[in-house]
Chain A
Amino acid sequence: MATASPSVFLLMVNGQVESAQFPEYDDLYCKYCFVYGQDWAPTAGLEEGISQITSKSQDVRQALVWNFPIDVTFKSTNPYGWPQIVLSVYGPDVFGNDVVRGYGAVHVPFSPGRHKRTIPMFVPESTSKLQKFTSWFMGRRPEYTDPKVVAQGEGREGKAPSPLLPLSPIQVTAWEWVGPGLG
């Protein structure tokens, strides 16, 4: 397989955003999108989606279930820029405005097979107390203009302390390599 020409490989991702645990919030929906490098391109499926709004179950589990399908295939010549899935969760606040409840990102797993991932989520926080109160009151929380920022490493230093919201399990199952493999 020793060839100098670039070899194209496919990465197929099938899965779902299964459920979330947010003890303090209810009536949430999530959006997902993929962030990938320049050598990657989606060839099939949807690379973005918005789920339904879900409420906590009445039983003792208090589960927030979306069961939201993810189905996408990528084509690439280079593992650099391996796709990351970025999740943003939104819900209503006390006044009825739609505010962001958490952002999170994780790389699509590298090996074929069935994988379950639990993604911690975080929210940007205003630095001054006055700003925190104003944003709570007006329903205009700090939000990223482009959620894809969450998938990048550069430029994170300036961020204010971000409260952590708990984990949202995402189950990504059954993808396979097609074409010449690597490693």
Chain B
Amino acid sequence: MDVVQLQSRLSEYLKSLFNDGTLDGQFLQLQQLQDESNPDFVVEVVTLFFSDSEKLLDDLSSSLEQPNVDFRKVDAYVHQLKGSSSSIGAQRVKNACIAFRGLCEEQSIPACLRCLQLVKQEYLYAKNKLETLFKLEKQVVAAGGSIPSLDAGS
């Protein structure tokens, strides 16, 4: 594939992530912060999101396994995950966290455990998609091209 084809494949892939709700406009904000003086910004922030999220998901699992579940703690973890997913534009993860917080108020462990599974699924889906996106970007750069930017309004 030549550079133009690679760039086109990248653009289409990114568009698909907006179309299925994986990403929202906040992701474009991050892309706009990336420039020659900060060329790896998006990958760095998203990588940070991955490691923070995985720790939070582990913490959530263990806190829901305690003999006396502290729902304030559970809610605090979900709040963190909701915040960082919102900040990078991981819309579906954010929405799953919003639903989870609603369940924390009801203090039902089975419901929370089910919701945690949903959050995990959305997280893994988003992670997979973003890793693929970054791989496609690398291919464009390796072929000598630059990463095309999507208009924030589109």
Do A and B make up one complex? no
